[in-house]
Structure 1
Amino acid sequence: MEMLRRARVATSVIFAVHGAVTGTFAARVPWIADHVGTGAGGLGVALLMPGIGALLAMPLSARLAHRYDLRSLTRVLILCWCAALLLPALPTSIVVLCLVLVAYGAAAGVADVAMNAQAVVIEERYGRSVMSSFHGFWSVGGLAGSAVAALAARAGLDARIHFLVAAVALAVITLVASAWLLPHRPEPEVDAPPAFALPSRAVLPIGLVALCAVFAEGAGLDWSAVYVRDLLGDTASTAALTVSVFSVSMALARFAGDRVIHRLGPVPTVRLAGAAASAGALIVVLGGRTVPVILGFGLLGVGIAVVVPLVFATAGRIGDHPGRSLAGVAGIAYGSGLIAPGIIGGIAHLSSLTASFALVTALTVAMGLGAGVLRPAPAPAVQQE
């Protein structure tokens, strides 16, 4: 049991490292844009590239998870993800930046699948929900990475130096923590998955629930500040506060999520989460004033927080090895995160941001209605001798 507890702590640290790399990069995007010399249009194209890289690489994750021990694979891929942080600060042209961001996104995607597969193995050994807390640590890592990056930016530190120091520090943490991860390999008789594994028919409905949740998450992270600043006419600091409220609400809900799932079960939890997220999105649409809208974004964050961890946990129990189904669900989720900013922006351009968040409301309703696909499969009957 002590080994299992250590593995849980180590996996929590790995999730935090993954989130810290993401938060570090996101907070220094303005420096990268200035370094490359691109405007909003070029930057928008460049920021599509990580999602494309992840989508291209994730179908390869199932074969990697089948071939290599999961502990070693997670260690290597998280170290690659830390090293990938060095890439975005190097280019001086938009074309090269786009190319390196594809590689950056590919590293993010395969590392994401490996660490979630490790989390599924630990959850199976515990025999109860622990996945939500892992994703809570990812959120904490993202907040910590972005906070340190904000301090570095305020001090005028060159992002190349900042990224190097952060990558080395996070790599050292990964090496120490990964020694406690659980070893895991599929049984010898389990057939290897295809080299490029697309989502199976069993995984697709679960992936659609993930699509709704990740779309709403992307809308909240990328557009909440714009909503408060441009639509409601409030200050930039209040707009930034809205993003913080949304992010912190998600993190806190994820740490509480495992208890709720244990008490209610996956399906009622997602139905309740869908109701909360829909209420929050509806408040955003109808609020009209800053305070209700900020509270609405907070409630939206609470509602979608536990859904993605539950989706990964459910997918990881399908089939003979957690990496196979996780790769399919992760691809759908990343795809949703990739298209969400563009769809929100497109609807806002044609109509308004209010109409965009009406779509978010509809998707969170669909998320709650689709909760039944997360129902655990019945345990196999025990044959009598």
Structure 2
Amino acid sequence: MDTIEYTSQQKNRIRLAVSLFYFSQGLAFSSWASRIPTIKQSLGISEGQLGTLLLLMPIGQLCTMALSGRLVAKYGSRKVLRIVVLIYPAILCCIGLAQNFYQLAAALFFFGVIGNMCNISVNTQGVEVEKVYGKSIMSSFHGAWSIAGFTGALIGLLMMNLNINTFYHFLIIYGLIVLNWFINNQYILSSVSVKQTEKKSLFSKPESTLIQLGVIGFLSMATEGAMFDWSGVYFQDIVKAPENLVVVGYASFMVMMATGRFIGDYFISKYGKQRIMQVSGLLMSSGLLISVFFPNFFICVIAFMMVGLGVACNVPTVYSVAGKSTKVNAGVALATVSSVSFLGFLMGPPLIGYIAELFDLRYSYAVFACFGLIMIVMVGRMKVFK
């Protein structure tokens, strides 16, 4: 990272630039998500085929986790981010051009590959900006990603109402991201490498602390993924909410998660990472258990808000701690933690479904409530949070 002193104005400009790169990545991803029904219908894809397609993106991410970390370690997050942030929306446009299942499958796989490179490089930037500030600001960066999710969904809705086809919609998004690149790429920071005494192979055994951080991320992201995919079903089948209010459960969770990310840095600076992470675990568990035992509409809205607040700061904090590793380059550390964490996002929703199939959706949520309690114990035992 640059070894110079920055004025307050320069720090704020760097922070804004990095926030907008987080926003760009979130905008590209949410734009794809907003047009999934349209693409499914236009290509005549079945539910089973769609399930297979949706798996290709995380498979692409997982296949290149180690490579992404090594690229960031070797060339620096600045160089990698400046390249991949332009490739990512270009592949988004390829998704819009897909004419059949196989073309879409290939585009989604590479969307996952480049998305992962964006993820590692932009989070490494976030860690380095934290070093410039000397305090926790990672949650606000992830808050920018969350806001991009809302923005992308709203733009997608507008494009559908205006009958603009998917390719031109994605081309507009590409233009916005390119504009952001021209305005802000000069403000992202250069990286510094951590000196290592021995050269490690691409698939060398990771540090145990990083694995533990990844497990905490896994528990949080499994809960987050379950809420993304199953909150609407829970409000429909368990809460018995009116059809026009089914979305309230998902919305209440998302609003509080985004809010929590913008206020999280203040509370982390004031009370410390360990205490906030343990309170987060308690909120996750309490919210899920309340929704299990009291499946009333208004109570569940509050419960889902608690869960949203509970998951808000976990992954940003885990990434922040991993990126400050003194033994491993920040890019490699983030790749390791992301690998384990993202498995939670991938495995959480299917696990909910399997438990619900055997028993009931309420049992699924009760099992996931244990994740917050496990997180509390793990955070309490790890020195990196103290």
Find the aligned partners of 1:75 and 1:128 in 2 and give their Cα distance: 25
Please, which runs of 5 or more residues in structure 1 have no aligned partner?
A: 379-385
- Residue equivalent to 1:120: 127
1:20 aligns with 2:36: no
- 8 Å contact 1:75–1:175 — kept in the other structure? no
Structure 2 unaligned blocks of 5 or more: 1-5
**Could you say what secondary structure the match of 1:202 adopts?**
helix
Q: Is 325-334 or 345-354 further displaced after alignment?
A: 345-354
2:163 is matched with: 156
Corresponding residue for 1:382? none
2:82 is the alignment partner of 1:68: no
Q: CA deviation at 1:78?
A: 1.5
SS in 2 for 1:184: coil
The one-letter code matched in structure 1 to 2:283 is: A
**Cα 1:234–1:156, aligned 2, differ >3 Å: closer, same or farther?**
farther
Do residues 349 (structure 1) and 357 (structure 2) align? Answer: yes
Is 1:173 equivalent to 2:175 in the alignment? no
1:218 aligned to which of 219, 225, 230: 225
The 5 A counterparts of 1:1-385 are 1-2=6-7, 3-186=10-193, 193-196=200-203, 199-318=206-325, 319-372=327-380, 375-376=383-384
Q: Is the CA contact 1:53–1:103 (under 8 Å) kept in the aligned structure 2?
A: yes
| C-alpha deviation, 1:71, in angstroms | 1.4
What CA distance in whole angstroms lies between the structure 2 residues aligned with 1:7 and 1:58?
26
Deviation at 1:236, TM superposition (A): 3.6
> What's the CA shift for 1:194?
3.1
Contact preservation (8 Å) 1:86, 1:163: yes
Secondary structure of the 1:233 match is coil
Matched residue count: 378
Task: Output the CA distance in 2 between the equivalents of 1:219 and 1:178.
Answer: 35
- Paired with 2:204 and 2:300, the residues of 1 have a C-alpha distance of 41
Contact 1:58/1:327 (8 A) holds in 2: yes
User: SS at 1:278's partner residue?
Assistant: helix
- Separation in 1, partners of 2:117, 2:257: 23
8 A contact 2:89–2:170 mirrored in 1: no
How far apart are the structure 1 equivalents of 2:178 and 2:296?
44
Q: Distance in 1 between matches of 2:101 and 2:77?
A: 36
1:332-354 deviation digits (Å, cap 9, x = unpaired) = 12211111121111111222111
SS at structure 2 position matched to 1:232: coil
SS of residue matched to 2:98: coil
What is the alpha-carbon distance in structure 2 between the residues aligned to residue 178 and residue 266 of structure 1? 30
Q: Secondary structure at the match of 2:246?
A: helix
Q: 1:158 and 1:373 mapped to 2: Cα distance?
A: 52
Would the aligned equivalents of 2:273 and 2:385 in 1 still touch at CA under 8 Å? no
Bigger shift: residues 58-67 or 268-277: 58-67
State the AA in 2 paired with 1:294. Answer: V
Is the partner of 1:225 in helix, strand or coil? helix
2:3 alignment counterpart: none
TM-score normalised by the chain length of structure 2? 0.93
Deviates more, 1:225-234 or 1:16-25: 225-234
Question: Could you say if the C-alpha distance between residues 187 and 340 of structure 1 is closer, same or farther in structure 2, counting changes exceeding 3 Å?
Answer: closer
Contact 2:196 / 2:328 at 8 angstroms: preserved in 1?
no
What are the Cα deviations for residues 81-117 of structure 1, in whole angstroms up to 9, with x where unaligned? 2222113223233333222211111111111010000
What are the Cα deviations for residues 116-164 of structure 1, in whole angstroms up to 9, with x where unaligned? 0011111122111111111111111111111111121222221111011
Secondary structure of 2:179's aligned partner: helix
Counterparts of 1:198 and 1:22 in 2: how far apart (Å)?
Answer: 31
The answer to whether the 8 A contact 1:225-1:242 is kept is yes
Q: Conserved in 1, the CA contact under 8 Å of 2:274 and 2:385?
A: no
SS in 2 for 1:376: helix
> For each residue in 1:261-294, what CA deviation from the matched residue of structure 2 results, as whole angstroms up to 9, or x when unmatched?
0111111110111111111111121122222112
Post-superposition CA distance 1:307-330 (Å, at most 9, x none): 000000011111242101100011
Q: Out of 183-192 and 173-182, give the one that drifted further.
A: 183-192
Structure 1 position 201, deviation (Å): 2.1
The answer to whether the Cα contact below 8 Å between 1:282 and 1:358 also exists between their aligned partners in 2 is yes
Distance 1:198 1:70 in 2: 23
For the residues of structure 2 that align with 1:155 and 1:65, how far apart are their CA atoms? 40
1:280 and 1:14 map into 2 onto residues whose CA distance is 32
Identify if the C-alpha distance between structure 1 residues 358 and 162 changes in structure 2 by more than 3 Å, giving closer, same or farther: same
Equivalent-residue separation in structure 2 for 1:33 and 1:197 (angstroms): 40
Q: 1:177 to 1:263 in 2, by over 3 A?
A: same
How far apart in 2 are the matches of 1:377 and 1:294? 31
Specify the SS of the correspondent of 2:157. Answer: helix
CA contact (8 A) 2:278 2:376 kept: yes
Percent identical pairs in the alignment equals 29
For 1:351 and 1:184, the matched residues in 2 are separated by 50
